[in-house]
Structure 1
Amino acid sequence: MTAFLSRTPPPSGSLGLAVRFALRELRGGLKGFYIFIACIALGVAAISGVTSVSRALTEGIAGEGQSILGGDLAFGLVHRQADEAEAAWLASLGRMSRVATLRAMARLPEGSDQALVELKAIDDVYPLYGTFSLGDDVALASALDRQGDGLWGAVADLSLLARLQIGIGDVVSLGRTQVRITGVIEAEPDKLSGGMEFGPRLMISDAALGDTALVQPGSLVSWTYRIRLAGTASDDTIRAVTEQARAEFPQAGWRIQSRTNAAPGLQRNITRFAQFLTLVGLTALVVGGVGVANAVRAFLETKRDVIASFKCLGAGGGLVFRIYLLQMMIIAGIGIAIGLVLGALIPFAAAGALAGVLPIRLAVAVYPTELALGLVYGFLTALAFALWPLGRAHDVPPTALFRDQVAATRSLPRKRYLAATAAAAVTLAAIAILLAYDKRIATIYVGASVAAFLLLVLVGRAVMALARRAPSLRSTELRLAVANIHRPGALTPSVVLSLGLGLSLLVALALIDGNLRRELTATIAQKAPSFFFVDIQSGERDAFEALLKSEAADATIQSVPMLRGRLVALDGVPSDQIQAPPNVAWALRGDRGITYEADVPDNSRLVEGQWWPSNHGGEPLVSFEAELARGLGLTIGDTITVNVLGRDITARIANLRVVEWESLAINFVMVFSPNTFAGAPHAHLITVAWDDDVGTERELALLNSTSSAFPTVTAVRVKDAIAQVNALVEQLAWAVRGASSVTLIASVLVLAGALAAGHRNRIYDAVILKTLGATRGRLIRAYACEYALLGLATALFGLIAGGLAAWFVITQVMNGSFALMPMTAVAAAGVALVLTVGFGLIGTWKVLGEKPAPVLRNL
């Protein structure tokens, strides 16, 4: 005993002492912290899982880069094949394969039906990498060779056979020839490198392509030369070959891809989508942070006696703060650990779920970097929401801790705790923005979330203030409900915060999804032309227009010349050296449709500069789309250089236009003066638009007439394209709904935690009221009214905030038109009411079951 008393006690601020007390108090278990742990685990699992799946997808693409690209390197050209010198140089690099891709019409021989197909003509060495397989183990070479009756063989996707109701052995017309279907494609290794497709695949040999007469001067054909480099080609070798190609053929205008970037468009989309889902997961984590704050406040309330004892025995506020901060971080660590385990397992589950959907295998693994990101997000969220209530306990005197049974003190914590809270929140937001693919969108999202959070705090206080000032009601139940909303220790702030962010996000996503569908199925469908006819040769244009006027005399027919070219320089700066913002960088990738016009095109409006005279014969001039020009930093007088048909053409910007893209009519980013392409071979693009809905039968009749009379002209039916885009939007919408449901689950958890935190006060209320004569039925009605009023207030905020967020995304980011949909409002109100009233009454039923005597003895 003497030895024990002679030991020098550690100072009250010692970290070791704080750790010892924190661990000792945790021996009592985690009761009261299950919601805390669940909220943190859910958010961390969402973030680490989404980022891990994204990494598994991109690693899978990178791992199969050679198969997806079809070679170590690929050189793409539009309109033209490589010339003799270019082809010889490409062949010298290693084994070469040439592939031609274009859109065409596959027709039944009697002309009764037809379908748009993605035609692919291959040579004898295809594929250089990967495995191409047909059903019934048919050999590709024999399937594409001439058959016994002299017709070329062709293989197709099963969907084409279903669309035309044909089978293996049947004949289809393709251009000016016929081909016999000899097999069904089961695996096409380089399918992902082709980008978005509007029709099923039909594959023929390059020898058969000439017989179709589909390739004419100016036809929209992409020629891709795949190279399998000799020996073991390193990434450094590939980069050296790429630089050599650009140096030796500066005006080739080809698009060069390597196996390290086999499907850049897909990878960008995966990254963007993962960014959005990560932000949604972060929102779930922030919503869960409200549960953290509620749990910390409720925990400290139960520890009043303990904290008072600490302070009475000489412990400083700093020691008390450290003890309970360590406890909160340990508990947060448990939630984070659970979330990380779930996040690490999600890619394995996703690989199984997506096995039959994606043409690639996910590179499933445990990714430490992505898990570390979830860990950082989890700890920062727990810290940001725990510091404030913990800091307030620092300066509360023991007398107040013993006395404060009705409501917690409203005083602010010390400045250092405020600063620490702000630092944690700012760090959380900064990480989300700095790691985002599109920092502008991430900044807007984070800013909107912060604004919504602050507004919800104000809404909660406003609801309490309104309830406090409400006139006295005759109904006892309503009077009690209104009093419960504004009384000290009311659940109002917690309920509004817990549901507000989740409902706002759900309303915003629902309105964005609904407006996109409305734009696709209603607005665009009404404004858009019925058909796009492409690859119309100059010699066929007059006859084709005459056929259209006879078959569709009441339709609007528009015709323009069309070429494709790549933007290779802006005001003399090569495009590959320009760091364009993500929202406009697409213009510098790949090929763009271009045209020339003597007059201002329809669906365009000049906003700056002057249009050129119809007989302009000076330097080449170009009209540029205004918003894109501003994004790229272009103004009137600047120059752009496009590569068309292997020639670099420089034109000066004469004016800027606003384009009505949503009409889906003929619109181009760049419109040149007619003298720019004098003598250049090109095809024409024609659209047909009816003012009224003429019905499917008349559209198909026109399609049959044009495809029979002009077999080399490709027709794109807009309704089919819209249906395909709509299907894609539907798939994305389900993924978004699944991710956003995590936020709603977090909201429900926080709501349940808030109700549980107020459980003790509710018991006291119920017992006293029952003692004074209140029946269980009247109390249930009073509590139901209270929760219903809170649910309606939260739903109203969710509708307004979500509507504003959706309006901004639709009108400012997507440049579309916005409409507020009443059913969404009803659904939001319904969700809020069901959750608040449902959970509230579940908790109330337990409260009303308490016996008065034990509670009254402890008052």
Structure 2
Amino acid sequence: MRIVADIAPQRFGSSVALAFRLALREMRGGLKGFYIFLACIALGTAAIAGVNSLSQSITGSIASQGRELLAGDIRFQLNNRVATEEEKTFLDGMGAISVSSSLRSMARLPDGSNQALVELKAVDGAYPLYGSLQSEPAAPLSASLAKDGTQFGGLVAPLLLERLGIKVGDDILLGTARIRVNGTILREPDALSEGFGFAPRLLVSTDALAASGLVQQGSLVEYGYKARIDNGASVPLIRKQAEEQFPSAGWSIRTSANAAPALTANITRFSQFLTLVGLTALIVGGVGVANAVRAFLDSKRGVIATFKCLGAPASVVVMIYLFQILFIALIGIVIGLVFGALIPYVAAQFLAGILPVSTGFQLFPSALGMASLFGVLTALAFAILPLGRARNVPATALFREQGFERARLPSWPYLVGAGLCLALLGGLAILTAYDRYISMVFLGAIAFAFIVLRGVSVLVSALARRAPRVKSPALRLAIGNIHRPGALTPSVVLSLGLGLALLVTLALIDGNLRRELTGNLPERAPNFFFVDIQGTEIDGFRSLLQTSLPDGKIIEVPMLRGRILAFNGVDVGKMTVPPSGQWVLRGDRGITYAKNMPENSTLTEGEWWTADYNGEPLVSFSEEEAGELGLKIGDMVTVNVLGRNITAKIANFRTVEWESLSINFVMVFSPNTFAGAPHAWLATVIDPNATAEQESAALKAITNGYPTITSVRVKDALDIINELVGQLATAIRAAAAVALVASVLVLAGALAAGNRARIHDAVVLKTLGATRSTLIRAFSYEYAILGLSTAIFALFAGGVSAWFVVSRIMTLPSSFLPDVAGLTVVIALAMTVGIGLVGTWRVLGQKAAPVLREL
């Protein structure tokens, strides 16, 4: 009687307290019916918490170890020229200075029998100013690089020993210098800050580089001046002074606060992608939340009716179950946060030798807090509507377990509440994203997918309703189950649709990339790139290459390096540039000049200059990059080349086929722009029919004949890229697996939500004479039809999404891969039929008497 009295109408505060007490009391029976709810929330929360915690761990380590990663407090980088005396005086005033030179070159055996591309780095005696270089065998760096008679010492990456078939203690040739390999590099402190390299490292002294003869007029050399600030001066202030005193220096300045910006940006972008995948898993799990809440409240119809018979207002009933849902959601979130917090610790054990991560256990409150907020909003967004429907359960349900009242939408406050939670969920995803445009497109695609999936379920039901009568009783029953009131069709299609569509999208992207890298691209790409060809060598180089590859097509262009400083007089550092266009402004770019338009380009706007043009400097800009930077015909571009600032007017835009891997440039200048400027040449040779033996002979001939020319075999570079894509694909597949697991959970929840109706159907049919085998076949047909329908949608949606990413974003050829389609259909059928039958088996064993008694 106490409960009856408490349930009587009362003030709001008392109602909340009472609902809270009753919610706790009813939860004494355990979490039965909420396991799928828990799993869905925990999985999505763990994915978001783990990805963002790992991202913060890596970026935080980069920031905290900035001095070691940069090997200095500040670095000034110059391309193709050394610092002037005035610039050196300024640099020396900061404190201790370490000078290094970096370039790509060829290392070869003394007998000329083998050669390999290397990332050459020459350092002075002050290197490194911070951190330490570790080698095997361990020895002071000065001793490892010291000169002994006519040969110099060097350290190499272990991979170079493998490629050249040598060991520590052997000699190699670098240009005209002999290098004794004194050890292998275990750890190079500033390797990450210097970016990704396509070849193994060779570390020598600056004296060895000078003796090699590699540095000539126009050679592509990066000179790094790293400083250790000894006078306590402010690093940002020094940077500002350098920019003001030497506005035309053209140097790239980087501080220890941002030691590896490209790595940091890439990690941030990839973490955003994985966060969106985790959000997809959470949203897919939200459907599972809705199904689980609906199934739970459906099982509580009698309890809800009892509360109403005892005088409880509908609002109190809703609050009782809202509190329970929040309790369960919090438990799921806590479980997800525990696993998410452990992900950086586990990942660090594998990444410690690759990235600067701490192997100790750390918590990242902001990442965990963001994941918690995502989890709470998802639980509320998808639980409010089932709660609104539970509010409408009539008291008569107490007397008849099987309700036949017509389903209807909840009242408008519940619709508004669910919409508000979804809006907050989307707003949070956009607000926390690195690229908000991509996040908005992603969320829009998710919302569109929900609408389309609803349309798919309606279409499947309509087709089933209009299907001709079949002779098989089991198949006829299956078709009827698809379109009858209360059918599982909407739940199953929605449960599987998003997860399978995401899986198809990622699989098609991965497949197209791999096919392009291993098949089509190598067929179209040049066999070799040749860099640092001097003007005095170009004729002899061409003759030697024609002898080695007589059927090869040789393309030669002048090559300089320049860094974009301003557009229309505005410093690019003060401009807001979208992430897709930032690479053009990051560091120096290769540039060239030409009388005629490059053969692999198409003019899209403007006019090309005449062959004898001699007016103001003009430049042709890549159309896609110009659009990303907001440029138009007639805009002025200021570029620093060899320490000189050159301003040119954009004369035209042209398309560039970057995917061909031919010689391409963002900027092509009119010839008069660089009249008299020293430069080297860049060349390619294309011979699709050349054998491996012919390529090897050509490489050997060029390397031995012109040791200062750098030769890059494109297939070797593609192998490295393919390996990186494979590693990236592994992470993408793992992320897709999270979404797929969420789909499985949601599907199980959808089937559980329909169990009460299934039990009723099975009992009635068995009473009328249906056998267990007939029912099993009927349910199998039903699940197979639904799985096949969903797979068709996933193939279409995933195919369109993958085409957009590969064709429009990556600008690569895209095609539909039938093997992916077949695998998707198999997965869909296995999941729907398998999980459906597992859930149905218990239904078929239900005793008839208890069910019939409630009818």
1:406-485 superposed matches below 5 A: 409-485=406-482
Match of 1:622 in 2: 619
Q: Distance in 1 between matches of 2:556 and 2:319?
A: 75
Q: Which runs of 5+ in 1 are unaligned?
A: none
Q: Deviations over 1:230-252 (max 9, x none)?
A: 0556xxx1111110110111111
Contact map agreement 2:81 2:223 (CA 8 A) in 1? yes
Match of 2:121 in 1: 120
* Residue identity matched to 1:270: I
Match of 2:189 in 1: 189
TM-score by length of 1: 0.97
Post-superposition offset of 1:742: 0.8
Instruction: Pick closer, same or farther for the CA change 1:850–1:417 going to 2, 3 Å.
Output: closer
Q: Distance in 2 between matches of 1:474 and 1:589?
A: 69
Match of 1:764 in 2: 760
Aligned length: 854
Contact map agreement 2:345 2:360 (CA 8 A) in 1? no
Match of 1:639 in 2: 636
Post-superposition offset of 1:757: 2.3
Post-superposition offset of 1:407: 5.7
Contact map agreement 2:58 2:356 (CA 8 A) in 1? no
Q: Deviations over 1:533-561 (max 9, x none)?
A: 00001111111111112222211110000
Q: Distance in 2 between matches of 1:63 and 1:183?
A: 30
Match of 1:719 in 2: 715
Q: Distance in 2 between matches of 1:408 and 1:588?
A: 65
Match of 2:167 in 1: 167
Which of 504, 512, 515 matches 1:515? 512
* Residue identity matched to 1:614: A
Q: Distance in 2 between matches of 1:363 and 1:665?
A: 46
Q: Deviations over 1:502-556 (max 9, x none)?
A: 0000000001111111222222211111000000011111111111122222111
Q: Distance in 2 between matches of 1:503 and 1:697?
A: 46
Do structure 1's residue 341 and structure 2's residue 333 form an aligned pair?
Answer: no
Which of 769, 774, 779 matches 2:770? 774
Match of 1:263 in 2: 260
Match of 1:387 in 2: 384
* Residue identity matched to 1:536: I
Secondary structure of 1:186's counterpart equals strand
Q: Deviations over 1:154-211 (max 9, x none)?
A: 1101110011110111111111222111111111111101111010000100011111
Q: Distance in 1 between matches of 2:615 and 2:247?
A: 26
Match of 2:536 in 1: 539
Q: Distance in 2 between matches of 1:409 and 1:590?
A: 66
1:214-233 superposed matches below 5 A: 214-232=214-232
Q: Deviations over 1:254-305 (max 9, x none)?
A: 1100111000000000000000000000000001101110011112212222
Do structure 1's residue 239 and structure 2's residue 240 form an aligned pair?
Answer: no
1:289-308 superposed matches below 5 A: 289-308=286-305
* Residue identity matched to 2:480: A
Q: Distance in 1 between matches of 2:579 and 2:31?
A: 46
Match of 1:820 in 2: 816
Post-superposition offset of 1:83: 0.9
Match of 1:82 in 2: 83
Contact map agreement 1:101 1:221 (CA 8 A) in 2? yes
Instruction: Pick closer, same or farther for the CA change 1:294–1:189 going to 2, 3 Å.
Output: same
Instruction: Pick closer, same or farther for the CA change 1:410–1:768 going to 2, 3 Å.
Output: closer
1:794-833 superposed matches below 5 A: 794-833=790-829
Match of 2:689 in 1: 693
Secondary structure of 2:584's counterpart equals helix
Secondary structure of 2:137's counterpart equals helix
Q: Distance in 2 between matches of 1:422 and 1:30?
A: 28
Post-superposition offset of 1:765: 2.5
1:557-596 superposed matches below 5 A: 557-596=554-593
Match of 1:735 in 2: 731
Contact map agreement 1:505 1:740 (CA 8 A) in 2? yes
Do structure 1's residue 783 and structure 2's residue 765 form an aligned pair?
Answer: no
Q: Deviations over 1:29-78 (max 9, x none)?
A: 21100100110011001001100000000011111111111100000111
Instruction: Pick closer, same or farther for the CA change 1:121–1:771 going to 2, 3 Å.
Output: same
In angstroms, what is the RMSD of aligned CA positions?
1.9
Contact map agreement 1:623 1:653 (CA 8 A) in 2? yes
Match of 2:699 in 1: 703
Contact map agreement 2:61 2:356 (CA 8 A) in 1? no
Post-superposition offset of 1:421: 1.0
Do structure 1's residue 753 and structure 2's residue 749 form an aligned pair?
Answer: yes
Secondary structure of 1:131's counterpart equals coil
Secondary structure of 2:433's counterpart equals coil
Q: Distance in 2 between matches of 1:382 and 1:302?
A: 19
Post-superposition offset of 1:310: 2.6
Post-superposition offset of 1:353: 2.6
Q: Deviations over 1:402-436 (max 9, x none)?
A: 66825664311122211111111111111111211
Post-superposition offset of 1:799: 0.7
Contact map agreement 1:10 1:17 (CA 8 A) in 2? no
* Residue identity matched to 1:476: P
Post-superposition offset of 1:329: 1.3
* Residue identity matched to 2:168: I
Post-superposition offset of 1:474: 0.6
Post-superposition offset of 1:140: 1.4
Q: Distance in 1 between matches of 2:475 and 2:109?
A: 73
* Residue identity matched to 2:110: P
Moved more, 413-422 or 285-294: 413-422
Contact map agreement 1:57 1:362 (CA 8 A) in 2? no
Q: Deviations over 1:445-473 (max 9, x none)?
A: 11111111221122122212211221111
* Residue identity matched to 1:580: V
Post-superposition offset of 1:858: 4.9
Secondary structure of 1:622's counterpart equals strand
* Residue identity matched to 2:549: A
Secondary structure of 2:537's counterpart equals helix
Q: Distance in 1 between matches of 2:466 and 2:667?
A: 62
Do structure 1's residue 850 and structure 2's residue 851 form an aligned pair?
Answer: no
Match of 1:26 in 2: 27
Give identity over the alignment, percent. 56
Secondary structure of 1:538's counterpart equals coil
Q: Distance in 2 between matches of 1:278 and 1:56?
A: 15
Q: Which runs of 5+ in 2 are unaligned?
A: none
Q: Distance in 1 between matches of 2:445 and 2:522?
A: 32
Q: Deviations over 1:744-773 (max 9, x none)?
A: 111111111222222233233223323333
Q: Distance in 2 between matches of 1:6 and 1:269?
A: 59
Secondary structure of 1:584's counterpart equals helix
Contact map agreement 1:59 1:362 (CA 8 A) in 2? no
Do structure 1's residue 682 and structure 2's residue 683 form an aligned pair?
Answer: no
Contact map agreement 1:105 1:715 (CA 8 A) in 2? yes
Post-superposition offset of 1:398: 3.0
Q: Deviations over 1:570-619 (max 9, x none)?
A: 01101101101111111111111100000011111111111111111111
Post-superposition offset of 1:740: 1.5
Q: Distance in 1 between matches of 2:297 and 2:532?
A: 74
